[in-house]
Amino acid sequence: MREPAAAPLRRTPQQARSKARLARVLEAAERVLVADGVEALTTTRVAAEARVSVGSLYQYLPDREAIIDALATGYFARLEAAMDGLVRTASAGRWADPVGVLVDEFAAIYRTEHGFRALWFGSGPTERTRAADRAHKRRMADGVRRVLLALGLAHDDERLTRSCLAAVLAADALAQEAFRRDASGDAALLEEAKVMLRGYLAAIAGRG
C-alpha cells in the first residue's frame, strides 16, 4: 500500500492528549471551512472555534496555509484509502461495470465530504496544496491501474500508467463541474462521465 504524504505540521504530536487536541483543531477548521470558505481559515478563528489558545495551535499549524495543507492532506488520505479498498474488492471478484463502480463510489464520498468540496472549490489553495493535489492524482491513477490489472482488463506498461492518469484528470474535471452544479452531483453529467470513461476503458482494454 502506498503511503500518503505527511501532513505539513510544525511538529508531530506524540502523546494521546496532544493528538486529540490536534484532531479537535482540524475538526474545527473544517467547520469554519464549510461554513465560511477558505478565506475564513485564520489561526485566530480556528483557535476560537476549537476552544484552544492561538499559541497551542501554533505548535502544530503556524499559519492559514498550514491549516489548508493539513486539511487537504487528510482529505487526500481518505480518498486514497477508499481507492485501496476498491483495489482489494476488485482483486476478490469481477465487476460488471468498473467505471460505474468507481464513479459511483467516489461521487458518494464527495457528497459526504463537505470540507473537501469547500476546499476543492475554494479560491485560495497554497502552492504546497497544489503540489500535493498533483501527487494525489498520480496515486489515484495508480489505484485505477491496480483495479484494471486486478480485473484482468489491461496489460501493465508505461502507457497504462499514462492512460490511467489521463482518465483520473478527466474524471476529476467532470466531477468538479457536476458538484459545482449540484451539491449532490449533477446526475446527468455524472452519467455522461461514465459514458466517456467506459469508451476510454474499452480502448485501453483493446490494446492487448
How confident is the model at residue 133, as a pLDDT?
92
| Cα–Cα separations (whole angstroms), residue 179 to 50, 84, 113 | 29, 23, 12
Q: Which residues of the chain have pLDDT under 50?
A: 1-6
Angle between helices 64-92 and 98-112 (to 10 degrees): 150
Distance CA 84, CA 99 (A): 16
Question: Any long-range contacts for 82-91 (C-beta under 8 Å, 24+ apart)?
Answer: 82/106, 82/109, 83/139, 83/140, 83/143, 83/144, 84/1, 84/2, 84/143, 86/143, 86/147, 87/143, 87/146, 87/147, 87/150, 90/146, 90/147, 90/150, 90/151, 91/150
3-state secondary structure of 44: helix
Distance CA 107, CA 179 (A): 9
- The whole model's pTM is what? 0.87
Q: Residues near 102 by Cβ (< 8 Å), separated by ≥ 6?
A: 86, 144, 147, 171
Class of domain 70-205: mainly alpha
How confident is the model at residue 1, as a pLDDT?
37
How confident is the model at residue 6, as a pLDDT?
46
- Cα R_g (the chain), whole angstroms: 19
Query: In the structure grid, which three cell numbers stand for residue 69, read together?
Result: 495543507
How confident is the model at residue 94, as a pLDDT?
87
How confident is the model at residue 121, as a pLDDT?
81
Query: In the structure grid, which three cell numbers stand for residue 208, read together?
Result: 492487448
Closest Cα partner for 193 from 99, 83, 90, 79?
99
Query: In the structure grid, which three cell numbers stand for residue 201, read together?
Result: 476503458
